[in-house]
Chain A
Amino acid sequence: MHKDKDSIRRIAIVGGGTAGWMTAAALAKLFEHSDCQIQLIESEQIGTVGVGEATLPHLRFFNQRLGIDEPEFMKAVNATYKLGIEFVNWGQLGDAYIHPFGDFGSPINGIPFHQYWMQAQQQGSNTPIGDYSLPVEMCKRNKFMFPAQDRSLLSTYSFAYHIDASLYAKYLRGYSEALGLVRHEGKVIKVNQNSASGFIESLDIDSGQNIEADLFIDCSGFRGLLIEQTLETGYQHWNHWLPCDRAIAIPCESTSEPLPYTRATADKAGWRWRIPLQHRVGNGHVYCSDFISDDEALDSLLSGLDGKPLAEPNFLRFNTGRRNKMWNKNVVAIGLSAGFLEPLESTGIHLIQLGIMKLMEFFPNRQIASAYTDEFNRVMTMEVERIKDFLVLHYNATERNDSEFWKYVSNMNLPDDLQHKMDLFKTTGRVVKYQEGLFLEPSWVAVYLGQRVQPSNIDARVSTYSQAQIESVLSRFKMGVDAAVSEMPSHLDALSNVAQNNNDGWKNASMSLYGD
């Protein structure tokens, strides 16, 4: 058997939160038939952050690659299906729109659908753009069905899950240990570096053990035990653009059928999430401590709960931003140790997954040539920066001025790239297009139009169509959506049929938000 003498033989993962166990599972699978030893160290005493329940469609791809059984997974983590996020009170108090995992309409003669929709609005129509999206209608009518695998209308969306993240980590722990991963309970108390290269050589645990490895994955959460506390990699702070710095999380009883979408309700100085699981509802309030006190934030959160709280509130603090390098020397930071973006678009677990996939793609040998680290850092930085812009958009694109917080975010200076994107949309209705990155045209359209960004001009090619022509195309599409959704089973029915589902949810799993 070919074995490169420079191959990495030992990998140590520090941390057993969602990041640690997702990494562990993926690497255990990757090295299933090799003698590469993978160890994970976690400390029950320190614990995990214990939040992170709304996911993105990409997670299906991850699970599928691990060979996990979908019904078993759904049962283990009490999952419900998720078709998008409803944003309430963002453009103005009283507004609501859904950012779906799918497109709105489809382009006509090479011109994006939303241009026709905007023209129709100018001509007096008041049909919301969501009426032309299958997943939005499914959300509104509490329906769920797996997307079709043909090119029909029924294939034009994707879906994700709401999960109990601590159960997911537990599930992946079982999976990884079955593949031979060794877990150590204990607290890392000392990190030993090579004096010349600065590479980490081993970790001392409070149990007295010393763990040596060639490659270290830092999944130690916000503290960044290896990447920051040891290697002092540095951090770019983004709190001037995303000023929320605290959160409170609390689960409560559910009082109604679970909805197939997450809800994000804008509050006085931040926003509240509502994530329906099978057995309970996850809730939280993300806020900016400069504008609201912890007590006030808690009151607002508790007053909006569906049912009785099921635990004590969990208070969290964070610094929005990203590590200067997510891979430094022989340490790869994955999860909260790599940076933090508030969970407004459920991107935390997705970035963990992406970090793992990129690590696997650029899996190094022991020398760790800069080609690997440079590419990993380049790609991850681009992803995170683009997500950041998209999150900032939610705050800045608002007409709200009912609190100091909203006055600040609606008037703040924007990152240059985002300023250009918004200027282009405001003056022409065009979305800046790119090939790589998580949020593409449908997502930008959802937020711009959902939050009242009205372009001063639209594509001049559309203005030559008559009102009747445009109306006829739009109404045909809407009728198609209506008819398709009417035939679908309810979300609850779909959930109760999970056991019969033959891994159908994995079938068109891909690394796309929109199901293409």
Chain B
Amino acid sequence: MNKPIQSIVVVGTDLHAWTIALGLIVELGHKGVSIKVVGRPQDERQGVLSLDSSAHSFHQRLGLKEASLISTMGGSYRYGIKLSNQSSHSSERIFSYSATGEMLNRVDFHQYLSRLNLSRLRLLAKEADLEQYSLTAQAALEGKFSHPAADSKLAKIDYNLQFDRRRYLSLLKNAAMNHGVSLIEHDVVAAKQSDDGAISRLDLTSGDSILTDFVFDCSGFIFDQVLNIQHESFADTVRFNRCLSWSASCGEATSLLNGVKGLQHGCLVTQSLPGRMAYTLNYHDQQLTDKQALEMASGLSQDLSPEQFEFGDLKAHMRVQHWVANAVAIGSVAGSSGNFIFSELFHTQTALARWLDLYPNQEINPHLSAQYNNSTATEYRRVLDVHGLLLSIVDNNIALPATLEHRIQLFAATGNVAFYEEDVFDRHQWVNLLMACGIWPQRCDVMLSDHSAQTISELLAAVKSDNQALIASMPSLDALLAAIRQAA
């Protein structure tokens, strides 16, 4: 009998678990579906949570207003990432989420820059960088922020949000519980499967059992110990296996740019919130011991005591299946390629939307899970492409996935972007990242071969001065954040 789902259990109590629980209760609670979160509460990792494009629709779906999130949680906005490498200062570049320049005469803006660059043999280094013409990259450097505004030159601004990780978690948790999610503070010790493989009952440390129609596993218990689902490793591309996080107060203006800096042995990610800077040092324990990592970190933030630093594991992988019978893996249980541009929460938010799109009945339908597994695995690979490209500037020994290699070759040869199904970046974001990573087309669009360098220079100069005028009219980020907090 194909009955509708009546009860769902989320195993685990981390950020991913509460994201799923809140999403489910908002979407399904009024249809009489009960949602339970099961597990002993653990301390959530400290630090800053950089949300991605998926967060805008996620918040909208849950009815969470951006301004109130910003004000209640001291959050901030992000326009992009500053990429740099310890070994070469000239390689410092900005990747921004928004499109750079506009298409002119149906030719992408970056092609004009390539055209000029090719004709003048790399111009003056700074003139040539795409970021010089990016409204948001330049605004970020001046600490100015504006939301996109319809029917204006600001219409194409893309931005993302960031929050204190623990505060964001507690907001999700409170919202979920207010909507009717129940929390059972005991770990799962055993699961009973019915004949079709579905998990029908979970036994808890308390001795109690709960019945369920569907399970989201954010703890690893179900996927590792009950279903035994293998992993596909991404460690050839993301070669770090440890991370050290800390945060320190900071008197500088809040930055609209996170940072990714290549170090001799590792990579330092920085994230900014008002009055505070969070750091994550990613490394491989064969290249850097925890002790050495701690020494490096203490050197960067000298006022902190050792207990303010937090070590963690980084396992770059994905499950070979993400939906098995009536269980779905979520969060780091499902996979990760680090939190370099896309966070693990990105996958959790898209997983929720994807699962709701395929919302099943109680009966196990292999076609639904096949569809889910296919698009989920593809999405992990697409994020791996993005992170692989970013990390290739930090470590030139990494193995690039074939799709990334093709993207790089195509862009270098033609200035075009190869688009793959389930891509997590828009084309313009690929252009921005490829160029920020120093990959320059060796050719420009044939339409431009007849344009003189003079014409193109004038055109580019006009873009720059337009941007300057727009930036002058934008408020400073800190002033805007203060105004939002005050209005709340």
Contacts and interface: CB of A to CB of B under 8 A. Distances in A.
Interface in A333-379: 360-365, 369, 371-372, 374-375, 378
A412 B445 CA distance: 46
B5 A460 contact: yes
A33 B455 CA distance: 16
A372 B414 contact: yes
A463 B360 CA distance: 12
B413 A428 contact: no
B2 A457 contact: yes
A3 B365 contact: no
B31 A464 contact: yes
Contacts of A30: 446-447
B449 interface: yes
Given A362-B416, A428-B367, A430-B371, A460 B450 contact: no
Contact of A420 (B370, B406, B416): B370
Given A2-B119, A460-B4, A423 B446 contact: no
Contact of A427 (B115, B367, B412): B367
A424 B368 contact: yes
B410 A375 contact: yes
B358 interface: yes
A509 to B, nearest CB: 13
B45 interface: no
A378 B406 CA distance: 11
A436 B452 contact: no
Contacts of B418: 375, 378
B449 A34 contact: yes
A76 B451 CA distance: 35
B160 interface: no
A420 B371 CA distance: 8
A463 B31 CA distance: 10
B361 A460 contact: yes
A385 interface: no
B418 to A, nearest CB: 6
Nearest to B418: A375
Interface string A101-119: 0000000001000000000
Given A2-B449, A460-B360, A369 B119 contact: no
Contact of A371 (B365, B371, B413, B450): B413
B276 interface: no
B107 to A, nearest CB: 11
Contacts of B118: 2
A460 B416 contact: no
B396 to A, nearest CB: 20
B40 interface: no
A457 B106 CA distance: 46
Nearest to A7: B449
Contacts of A461: 27-28, 31, 356, 359
B175 interface: no
A432 B421 contact: no
Contacts of A253: none
B453 A2 contact: yes
Interface string A408-426: 0000000000001001100
Given A30-B446, A420-B370, A428-B367, A457 B31 contact: no
Interface residues of B, number: 44
A34 B450 contact: yes
A456 B368 CA distance: 13
B441 to A, nearest CB: 10
Contacts of B443: 4, 365
B410 A435 contact: no
Contacts of A4: 443, 449
A420 B32 CA distance: 31
B406 A374 contact: yes
Interface string A369-396: 1011011001000000000000000000
Nearest to B363: A457
Interface in B25-68: 27-28, 31-32, 61
Nearest to A460: B4
B36 to A, nearest CB: 19
Given A1-B450, A375-B406, A424 B359 contact: no
B421 A436 contact: yes
B7 interface: no
Contact of A460 (B359, B406, B449): B359
A424 B367 contact: yes
A371 B449 contact: no
Contacts of A427: 365, 367-368
B414 A428 contact: no
Given A2-B453, A459-B359, A460-B5, A372 B367 contact: no
B409 interface: yes
17 contacts: A2-B449, A4-B443, A7-B446, A110-B356, A363-B446, A372-B414, A423-B367, A424-B368, A424-B371, A427-B367, A430-B357, A432-B371, A435-B422, A457-B2, A459-B359, A461-B27, A464-B31
Interface of A: 1-4, 7, 30-31, 33-34, 65, 110, 360-365, 369, 371-372, 374-375, 378, 420, 423-424, 427-428, 430, 432, 434-436, 456-457, 459-461, 463-464
Given A424-B367, A427-B365, A461-B28, 10 more contacts: A2-B449, A65-B106, A110-B356, A362-B416, A365-B443, A375-B416, A430-B368, A436-B421, A460-B360, A464-B4
Interface of B: 2, 4-5, 27-28, 31-32, 61, 106, 115, 118-119, 356-361, 365, 367-368, 370-371, 406, 409-410, 412-414, 416, 418-419, 421-423, 443, 445-447, 449-453
